[in-house]
């Protein structure tokens, strides 16, 4: 028998990236524990990480490539070899490229996957501008682009240095439960233990809000009004950092004029947050030194999300908490920019990116931004109608659009119209059931990679390494590289390890050397803008008034806009739909639509939960544990009622990502409790990012 071997790696049961120790014996993984040497989680793992072995060994995993038999959605498959699968994909892709051009091929992926960057790289090598991921318009990328156009670079909370924040402003985020992009829950917990206090903006009394000194329970969808009123307080009461603002920002006078009308009294009527609470939060944050912003996805689910992100980002700017110990920091980027192969995409191809003409920040039309993407509703329309040109193939790596895209019935219709649908995943999902070819994906325990955390600033660089490979699973990145080779592409064909070695060159390490160490940290340097004598914007300063947005034809300053469906925008709906719906609050056991087939996790959270206030429930005859309908004008679903006083009586919250892998039908319960049956992907959209309304919708609830 082999001796027990302990391998350092990085857990990817979500996109948090906690350091992990993988215990291997006789060629199999026998235990996964947190790595005590990890600078992020220091030996701890969340429930998902602790369940990694159950995912690895799950009997229902996709084990080998399969080809569809019969009509789409019948659930009939035949096993084929990898060569058969890849060759058949390549033949069809070549036909489409020859007949219609590479832009008629779409590439899709899911939020925060290990292979995220490689999907963009493969699309560029292939010559298609049409890759997409739901988060590009609805999660993280609006915040990233808002930072890029305002400050010239991305920023994250500084939980990593010797100085911890005096106050953390957690906005639209529940960071004591979630762990996105390396900004994991353990770092905030440690910061609180060292004395950090919380100001939390959330319609729900989340786990993070329960720890707050100040909880601002706003009406869903009014984050822009709240942020603008806090800016009003800071400016009118002269609570801003005058020295930083005068030396390092541009557009302060224009911003002051813009927010003059956004008083706390004005905001109280809109947000439901009392004016005195708004003033208290603004004063507390402004006077705390240092203070930081820890923001999340919630406000990226309404069509004014980009300007909302800009307004929120200005709060730490005005208070001078930029790139200072315990504030918001920009990272060291020791690996440099990922080699996306953007230079391989011709100008003609970029001009054909679906949605880029209308949503110029999303598509990076006329502006230099990382990861320009296609607009998902435009791609779906091109699949169904051929307008403005046909999209005939869709290759999906690690995504389940029938659950995770808005308006899943339209998604179904769009996928059914394709000539080629390829899905690579760990399990047979409702989306995979629609495919022509299904490919078995590796779990994180079966894959190699390097990742900098927090993502986009790279304070720490982690190795993820393959310790086992079960059945015929392969790594998504390797499959993209092999497709590039078989297609005869001029780029994107290098071995994966060559790319990893190249990324680590600046650290003086090879991938093999990093695997031995597990991770490497780069010493933090602060106030780097002083050393550079500029921010990386056209003016060299933080652009409160954005010259780039002005040049693109957008408002250069943040503004308030009521959500298109709300008690104020559509009062005629209130009689039939009197409640405000929010979706997407995270639970610690699942990652979006993943892990519901993992026994250890599903036992902890067996059913989809809708949160309702006891007053509302009593009026409707609903009791704890009842299965109830949640209905909007788009559709209805059923979830199990949980009564809580931590939500306003006018608001209900449903969980997202639900399907039922245990159901044997090819649909796997996708039409039962899926929150996106309540949403729509139609206009109006965010003018810059193309974002549509996923929360703050109007609904009604009643017993099943």
pLDDT of residue 366: 80
Name residue 78's beta-bridge partners. Answer: 67
Matching residue, tokens 């809000």: 209
Q: Tokens 């009461």 correspond to what residue?
A: 237
State how far the Cα of 108 lies from the Cα of 134, in Å rounded to an integer: 9
**Mean pLDDT, range 159-171, rounded to an integer:** 94
pLDDT band at 182 (very low <50, low <70, confident <90, very high): confident
Q: Where in the chain are all domains bearing CATH 3.40.50.740?
A: 66-137+346-444+472-495
Segment 350-364 shows an average pLDDT of 95
Query: How many residues are recorded in the chain?
Result: 704
pLDDT recorded at residue 138: 92
Query: What per-residue confidence (pLDDT) applies to 584?
Result: 86
Q: What is the rounded CA–CA span in Å between residue 612 and residue 605?
A: 18
For 593-637, the three-class secondary structure string (H helix, E strand, C coil) is CECCCCHHHHHHCCCCEEEECHHHHHHHCCCCCCEEEEEECCEEE
Whether the predicted model's global pTM rises above the 0.85 cut: yes
Mean pLDDT of 256-262: 98
Contact between 293 and 154 (Cβ < 8 Å): no
State the Cα–Cα distance between residues 643 and 625, nearest whole angstrom. Answer: 8
Which two three-digit tokens encode residue 238? 């002269």
Which of the four pLDDT bands, split at 50, 70 and 90, describes residue 512? Answer: very high
Q: Which of 135-144, 202-211, 351-360 has the weakest average pLDDT? A: 135-144
Q: What are phi and psi for residue 629, nearest 5 degrees? A: -85, 140
**pLDDT interval class at 178 (50, 70, 90):** confident
Please report the pLDDT score of residue 690 as a whole number. 97
Looking at the chain, the whole-number percentage of residues with pLDDT higher than 70 is: 100
**Tens digits of residue pLDDT in 422-441:** 999 999 999 999 999 999 99
What is the token pair recorded at 222?
Answer: 């009014």
* pLDDT tops 80 at residue 398: yes
The CATH topology of domain 141-332+528-552 is Dimethylsulfoxide Reductase; domain 2 (3.40.228)
User: In the chain, what percentage of residues exceed pLDDT 90?
Assistant: 89
84, 73 Cβ separation under 8 angstroms: no
Calculate the alpha carbon distances from 626 to 474, 583, 623, 640 in Å.
43, 19, 6, 6
Mean per-residue pLDDT for 312-330? Answer: 96
Identify the bridge partners of residue 478 per DSSP, sorted by sequence position: none
Tokens of 587: 């639970």
Please, where in the chain does CATH 3.40.228.10 lie?
141-332+528-552
Determine the average pLDDT of the residues in 449-461: 88
Long-range (24+ apart) CB contacts under 8 A made by 20-26 are 20/45, 20/49, 20/52, 22/445, 22/467, 24/467, 24/468, 25/1, 26/1, 26/2
pLDDT band at 276 (very low <50, low <70, confident <90, very high): very high
84 C-beta neighbours (distance < 10 Å), count: 14
Mean pLDDT of the chain: 95
Distance CA 58, CA 598 (A): 7
Predicted local distance difference test score (pLDDT) of residue 45: 93
For 257, the enclosing helix (H) or strand (E) is helix 252-259
Q: In CATH, what class is 571-703?
A: mainly beta
Is the pLDDT reported for residue 1 higher than 60? no
Residue 44 contacts residue 18 (beta carbons within 8 Å): yes
Tokens of 581: 């719906």
The class of domain 66-137+346-444+472-495 in CATH terms is: alpha beta
pLDDT, residue 287, reads 97
Question: Where in the chain is CATH 2.40.40.20?
Answer: 571-703
pLDDT tens, 70-106? 999 899 999 999 999 999 999 999 999 999 999 999 9
Give dist(CA 229, CA 251) in Å, integer: 18
Residue 304 in this model has a pLDDT that exceeds 80? yes
Pairing of strands 105-109, 131-132: parallel
Alpha helix stretches (DSSP H) within 101-222? 116-126, 135-138, 141-151, 185-193
């Amino acid at each position: 028998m082999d001796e027990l071997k302990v391998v350092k790696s990085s857990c990817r049961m979500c996109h948090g990236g906690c350091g992990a120790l993988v215990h291997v014996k006789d060629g199999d993984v026998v235990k996964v524990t947190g790595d005590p040497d990890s600078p992020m989680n220091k030996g701890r793992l969340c429930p998902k990480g602790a369940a990694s072995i159950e995912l690895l060994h799950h009997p229902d995993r996709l084990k080998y490539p399969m080809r569809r038999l019969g009509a789409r959605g019948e659930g009939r498959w035949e096993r084929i070899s990898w060569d058969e699968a890849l060759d058949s994909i390549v033949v069809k892709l070549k036909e489409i490229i020859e007949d219609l051009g590479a832009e008629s091929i779409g590439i899709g992926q899911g939020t925060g996957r290990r292979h995220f960057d490689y999907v963009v790289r493969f699309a560029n090598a292939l010559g298609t501008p049409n890759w997409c991921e739901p988060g590009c318009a609805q999660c993280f990328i609006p915040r990233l682009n808002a930072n890029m156009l305002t400050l010239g670079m991305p920023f994250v909370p500084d939980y990593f240095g010797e100085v911890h924040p005096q106050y953390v402003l957690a906005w639209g985020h529940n960071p004591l439960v979630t762990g996105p992009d390396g900004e994991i829950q353990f770092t905030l917990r440690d910061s609180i233990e060292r004395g950090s206090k919380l100001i939390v903006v959330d319609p729900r009394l989340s786990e993070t809000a329960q720890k707050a000194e100040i909880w601002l329970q706003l009406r869903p969808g009014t984050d822009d009004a709240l942020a603008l009123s806090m800016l009003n307080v800071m400016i009118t009461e002269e609570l801003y950092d005058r020295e930083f603002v005068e030396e390092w920002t541009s557009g302060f006078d224009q911003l002051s004029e813009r927010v003059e009308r956004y008083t706390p009294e004005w905001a109280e009527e809109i947000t439901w947050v009392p004016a005195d609470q708004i003033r208290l939060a603004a004063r507390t944050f402004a006077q705390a030194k240092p203070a930081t912003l820890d923001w999340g996805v919630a406000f990226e689910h309404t069509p004014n999300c980009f300007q909302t992100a800009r307004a929120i980002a200005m709060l730490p700017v005005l208070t001078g908490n930029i790139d200072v110990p315990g504030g918001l920091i920009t990272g060291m980027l020791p690996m440099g920019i990922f080699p996306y192969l953007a230079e391989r995409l011709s100008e003609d191809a970029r001009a054909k990116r679906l949605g880029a003409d209308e949503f110029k920040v999303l598509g990076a039309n006329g502006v230099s931004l990382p990861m320009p993407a296609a607009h998902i509703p435009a791609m779906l329309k091109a699949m169904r109608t051929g307008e403005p040109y046909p999209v005939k193939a869709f290759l999906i790596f690690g995504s389940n659009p029938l659950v995770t895209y808005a308006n899943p019935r339209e998604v179904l219709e769009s996928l059914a119209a394709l000539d080629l649908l390829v899905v690579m995943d760990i399990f047979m999902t409702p989306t995979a059931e629609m495919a022509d070819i299904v490919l078995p994906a590796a779990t994180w325990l079966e894959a190699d990679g390097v990742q900098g955390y927090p993502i986009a600033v790279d304070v720490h660089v982690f190795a993820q390494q393959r310790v086992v490979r079960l059945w015929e699973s392969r790594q998504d990145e390797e499959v993209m590289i092999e497709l590039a080779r078989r297609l005869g592409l001029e780029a994107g064909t290098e071995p994966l390890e060559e790319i990893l070695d190249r990324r680590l060159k600046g650290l003086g390490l090879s991938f093999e050397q990093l695997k031995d160490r597990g991770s490497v940290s780069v010493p933090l340097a602060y106030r780097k803008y002083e050393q550079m004598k500029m921010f990386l914007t056209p003016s060299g300063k933080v652009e409160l008034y954005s010259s780039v947005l002005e040049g693109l034809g957008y408002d250069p300053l943040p503004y308030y806009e009521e959500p298109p469906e709300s008690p104020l925008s559509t009062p005629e709906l209130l009689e039939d739909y009197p409640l405000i719906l929010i979706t997407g609050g995270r639970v610690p056991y699942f990652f979006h639509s993943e892990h519901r087939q993992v026994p250890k996790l599903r036992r902890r959270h067996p059913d989809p939960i809708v949160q309702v206030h006891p007053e509302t429930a009593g009026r409707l005859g609903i009791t704890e544990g009842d299965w109830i309908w949640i209905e909007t004008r788009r559709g209805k679903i059923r979830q199990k009622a949980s009564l809580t006083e931590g939500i306003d009586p006018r608001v209900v919250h449903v969980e997202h990502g639900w399907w039922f892998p245990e159901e044997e039908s090819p649909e796997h319960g996708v039409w039962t409790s899926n929150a996106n049956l309540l949403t729509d992907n139609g206009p109006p959209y965010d003018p810059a990012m193309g974002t549509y309304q996923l929360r703050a919708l109007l609904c009604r609830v009643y017993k099943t």
